[in-house]
Amino acid sequence: MTQRSLSLHERLGLSIAQSGEPSTVVMTGYLSCSPSAALAFIQPRVGDMLQRFPLLSCAANAILTRKPEFKKSAQVISPIDIFKIISEPAHNATDATKWALAMGKTFNVTVAPLWSVGILPSSTSKDDCFVALAINHIISDGRSTLQLFASLFTDLPGKMSVDNSDRLPPRCEDTISHRPRLPLLMRTLIDELLIPKLPRALGRILTKRPAWPAHRPLAKQPIDCPEDVIVIECDEGTVDGLKALAAKVGTRTIHAPLHTACVAALLIVIEADEDGSANGKQNDRGPEILTGTPMSLRDPALGHPIMTGNYVASANWHKSSRSICSTKVYYLTRKYHHLVNPADRRGAAGYMGLLAFIPDSKRNIKKRRFHDRIFTRNAANGLVKPSPTGWEDFVRDKARSNSPYLDSLCLSNLGLLPAQTDVLRQVWFAQSAVAAGWSAGMMVSVVGLKVTHEDPALAGTKSTAVRGSCAADEDSVMTKTGEMTHVTAKATGHTTTKIGLTVSWRDGAVTGAESHLFSAALSAALLCLATQDVCEKSITEETTFAELCERVKQALAVRGK
C-alpha cells in the first residue's frame, strides 16, 4: 500500500499549507563535534529510516479534492536529498531553529521529501555544531519528530519485515474512535455554523468571549505578521526542582508545573497590557485564558509506527484571568494534570473528530469541475487560489476573522528524547506559529534530554548568583545571552535532565514586547517554582497565583537591574 488518504489532522495540515501557512515541526540539537563528524555519523541512519518508514518518501496527491492522499515518490529519495550543509555559522540555538522554520516554508507538499536535516557550524567553536531537523506536519506529529531526531544519533530499535517496507501507517481515526461527544458537537455547530449567519447584534450576545489575545482588537491579523521565536534553556537543577514540586502536588511529571508557569507568565503579560486591564465590559472577569495541550494517541498495539504519521489529539483548559489570580497554585496544577490524563483519550480524540464536519460549498464543488483552468498555486508559499474545498475556506475565514486564535497559548511537551549520546549537549523543540486554522497566540514547545556527567563533581558546580526573592541562594541564577535565555540552578547527581523550551508567535498580532515579557516571566516562574524551598515565602497549598506572580515580578525586577 503505497497510497492512503490523509487523516483528519493531516488534512487540516494540508489545508493550512494550501493557505500559504505551512506548519513545520522542528528539533534542534547542539553537538560537541565538528560538522563533518556529525554528517558522517548521521548520514547512514537517515538512509536506514528512508528504507523502513515509507511516509518519509511521500508527498500529498489530489490536493484540490476533498479526499487528498499520500503517494510515495516515484523517484528514490536518498540521504543526499535530505541533508543541507550550511556554511554560515549559527551563533546560538535561536539561529539554528529559525533556519529550520524557514526551511519548512520551502517544502512543496506535492513533492517529496517533506523533511530536511541541516548541519550548521557553531560560531563559538569549530569543534561544535548544530543539527536542525525540519519536517512538514502533514507527515509527522511532535512525538514522531522526537523519535526521528533521536534516531539520527542512535540505531533504530528492532527490525522491520521487508514485506512491510512499502506499507504506509494507518490513519489515526481508523484505529481510534474520533466521534465527538454530543454536547461538544452541538456547541461547535452552533458557534461555527449558526451564529455567523445570525444578525450581528444577536450574534454578539450568543458568541463566547474570545480568549487572550483576541479579546481586544488586534493591531494586525496574524496572517499578515512575520513569525518569530525565542529559545529558553532550563538546566538540570531547575528540572530537579520542578520534579520535587510535582511530587508534592501529586502530578508525577513536570508537565503540570510547566503549565502553571505558563499561566503565571501570561497573567503578568495581561496585567501589563493596558487593553487587558481596561477592557470595558470584560473588566469584571478579565480576559479569558485558554490553553491547548496536544496529547499523543500513538500506540504500537494499534499498528502505529514509532515515527511518521499523526496520532495526536488536543485537551483544552480555560479560566478567566481574574479568577485565576485568586486560585491556589497547587489546586490548579492538580486540576490541569487530571484534565490531560492520557486515560481520557476518547474526549481528546473527539475534539479532533469535529474536523470531519467541515462542510463543502456549492461554489467549491463547481470550481473543482474546472480545476485545471482556474486554480493557481504560489510557488513561494504554497497558497492555492481560490480555496479548492471547504477545508481551505474554514482555515482562511478563521485567519481573517476577529477571533483568529483558538487558544491563548499551546503547550506541547514531548518529554525526554529517547536517546543518550556523549556528543549531544542540549536539544530544543519548536513549531510554526501558524496563522490559519486552529492556532494559538503563542506556541510553547518543550523537550527534555538526559545528560550523563563523567565527573560527578561537575554536577554540583556552583554558579554566580543573582539575588532576589526567588533567586535566594548562590546556587540560582538567571542570565540572558543574545536571544537565548538561561534558567540555572544547582545540579546534583551523575545522570541529570535538562529541558529546552521555545516560544514562537506572530510578531504584530502578539507584540514583540508581550512575547519577550512572557518569555522572561516564564523563565522566572520556572525558577520560582523549582527553588520554592528557598524562597522567602515557600509555595504551599495556600499560595495563590497572585502571590506567585508577585514573586515572579520581583525576580524580573532584580534581573533588570
- pLDDT at residue 460, as a whole number: 46
pLDDT band at 492 (very low <50, low <70, confident <90, very high): very low
Average pLDDT over residues 438-444: 90
Vertex 412: Cα angle to 135 and 112 (nearest 5):
10
Calpha distance 39→43 (Å, rounded): 6
Give the domain ranges of the chain.
Answer: 211-301+310-347+403-560
Average pLDDT over residues 153-170: 67
> Which grid cell sits at 332?
490548579
- pLDDT at residue 468, as a whole number: 30
Calpha distance 520→503 (Å, rounded): 11
Q: In what order do the strands lie in the sheet with 69-72?
A: 3-5, 69-72, 58-61
Contact at 8 Å (CB) between 207 and 190?
Answer: no
Segment 291-328, tens digit of pLDDT? 999 999 999 999 999 999 999 998 889 999 999 999 99
- Above 60 in pLDDT, residue 472? no
Selection from 530, 474, 470, 457 nearest residue 499 by Cα: 530
- pLDDT at residue 440, as a whole number: 93
pLDDT band at 367 (very low <50, low <70, confident <90, very high): low
Phi-psi region of 226 (alpha: psi -120 to 50; beta: other; left: phi over 0): beta
Q: Which amino acid is at 482?
A: G
Calpha distance 157→151 (Å, rounded): 9
Calpha distance 188→354 (Å, rounded): 8
Secondary structure element (H or E) that encloses residue 443, with its range = strand 439-452
pLDDT band at 358 (very low <50, low <70, confident <90, very high): confident
Q: In what order do the strands lie in the sheet with 495-506?
A: 312-320, 288-296, 405-416, 439-452, 495-506, 227-234, 484-488, 477-481
Q: Write the CATH number of the domain with boundaries 211-301+310-347+403-560.
A: 3.30.559
- Above 50 in pLDDT, residue 161? no
pLDDT band at 239 (very low <50, low <70, confident <90, very high): very high
Residues in the chain, overall count? 561
Spatial neighbors of 12 by CB under 8 A, at least 6 apart, are 355, 391, 395, 437, 438
Query: What ranges make up the beta strands (E) of 225-371?
Result: 227-234, 288-296, 312-320
Segment 6-59, tens digit of pLDDT? 999 999 999 999 999 899 999 999 999 999 999 999 999 999 999 999 999 999
**Bridge pairing between strands 405-416 and 288-296:** parallel
- pLDDT at residue 301, as a whole number: 94
> For the chain, first and last CA: distance in Å?
62
Average pLDDT over residues 413-418: 94
Contact at 8 Å (CB) between 111 and 70?
Answer: no
Query: What ranges make up the beta strands (E) of 56-155?
Result: 58-61, 69-72, 83-85, 115-121, 129-136
- pLDDT at residue 136, as a whole number: 98
Q: Average the pLDDT over each of 19-28, 270-279, 302-311, 538-547 and give the range with the smallest value.
A: 270-279
- Above 60 in pLDDT, residue 64? yes
Per residue, the 3-state secondary structure of 259-284, as one string, reads HHHHHHHHHHHHHHCHHHHCCHHHHH
- Phi/psi of residue 290, each to 5°? -125, 120
Segment 137-153, tens digit of pLDDT? 999 999 999 999 999 99
Calpha distance 2→253 (Å, rounded): 39
Contact at 8 Å (CB) between 5 and 65?
Answer: no
Q: Helix or strand or coil: residue 502?
A: strand
Q: Average the pLDDT over each of 80-89, 230-239, 517-526 and give the range with the smallest value.
A: 230-239
- What predicted TM-score, i.e. pTM, was given to this entire model? 0.88
Give 276 or 286, the one with higher predicted confidence: 286
